Amino acid sequence: MSMSSKVDILKHMYVPQHVVLSPDEAKVVLEMYHAKHDQLPKIRAADPVVRAIGAKPGDVLKIIRSSETAGTSEYYRLVVEE
């Protein structure tokens, strides 16, 4: 592989699917968990996957991970600047 070739990190087998939720979808998730934005676990805007999907600070991400026992599991993160 040459130094100029790029790897699509979103297609890597160890990178779970990341989805930016709409404001309405985020509201439903927060209501479901009886939580506020600032109570969600954080993910930095500089994270390579966050940058690759174009998420911005304040966005809520749904991360879908494969699980041997559950099939798939969903996690939520708030994109922050820090």
pLDDT per position as a tens digit, 7-41 = 787 877 788 999 999 999 999 999 999 999 999 99
| Statement: residue 5 has pLDDT above 70 | no
pLDDT tier, 67 (very low <50, low <70, confident <90, very high otherwise): confident
Does residue 3 sit in helix, strand or coil?
A: coil
Give the start-to-end residue ranges of the domains of the chain. 9-80
Q: Measure the CA dihedral 59/51/8/25, to 10°.
A: 10
Instruction: Identify the residue with better confidence: 8 or 43.
Output: 43
| Statement: residue 60 has pLDDT above 60 | yes
Right CATH number for 9-80 from 3.40.50.280, 3.10.290.10, 3.40.50.11540, 3.90.940.20?
3.90.940.20
pLDDT of residue 1: 47
| Statement: residue 49 has pLDDT above 60 | yes
